[in-house]
Amino acid sequence: MSGVVPFFLVDVFAREPLAGNPLAVVADAEELDPGIMERIAREFNQSETTFILPATAPGADWRLRSFTAAGIEVFGVGHNSLGAWWWLAEAGRLRLSDSGGDFVQEIGTRRLPVRIDCEGGRLVSVGLTQTAPVFGRVYIGHKELAAALGLAERDLTPDRIPTQVVSTGAAHLLVAVKDRDALARAHPDLPRLARVLRSAGGQGCYLFCLDPGPHTRFFNPTEGIPEDAATGSAAGPLACHLIQHRFMKDYTTVWIEQGHSMGRPSVIEVRVAGELVRVYGQCVTAAEGKLRW
């Protein structure tokens, strides 16, 4: 069986093309089986490729399935989801008022709210609701972790803020470093880091420093992502982590910068109100075409 499907490259958490985190979006994907989706994700070779399908869960508007370039399906709510909803809004697939609208996305077994904001009918941002924060294991093997990251143990600052696994839908290990120099010097041994992450119970590693706002890098060798330019599924946990340890107040908005080390600057907006965690961003559709399979 073969066919043709439209695809789009959407730069997520970006205000101009060729910035942010590039996402391959495949529309009208209902005829594709999971094996073909995996092969298409490998073909695009982006950190993630998202397929848009009709919803199957009651009350949901659209169903999304996302795969990494390694062919692993992921269920976090981050750039993989935000870019797809931006495209749905931009392509006229959503019924929007001049101020936007509220929708529900189906990802895996979850149904989660989506907010589309418009000003005078012009698309401004997409907001994703993540799940309530879950604070997992505090990791103490900092010598091994630093070595896996290509850093010295003194570059890490667990005495200031714990190294901890936190989830708002995807569990990531949050690792504080002392400054942006240490952040820039990180050069992970990916197989070694994957072993650390599995032992800690985290999917990816979100390295961050505060000077004064959060600057970050994300590595996820457990799912075939050497480095990611903007990671919404880790930005939500980081904002909750900072609030939990009183670096920021609850009921606040945090702007997180990422992607500078990859030449793809990104800004992720996270709004936290108690257990309500929402990630907002802008996107640019940079390319489109047809894929034959």
Task: List, by residue number, the catalytic residues.
Answer: 48
SS3 134: strand
Per-residue CA distances from 71 to 25, 118, 134 (Å) = 15, 34, 27
Q: Are 80 and 74 in contact (CB under 8 A)?
A: yes
Phi, psi at residue 168, to the nearest 5°? -125, 40
Sign of CA dihedral 217, 220, 226, 230: negative
CA 93 to chain centre: 23
Secondary structure class of 167 (helix, strand, coil): strand
Instruction: Look at strands 100-107 and 62-67 and give their pairing.
Output: parallel
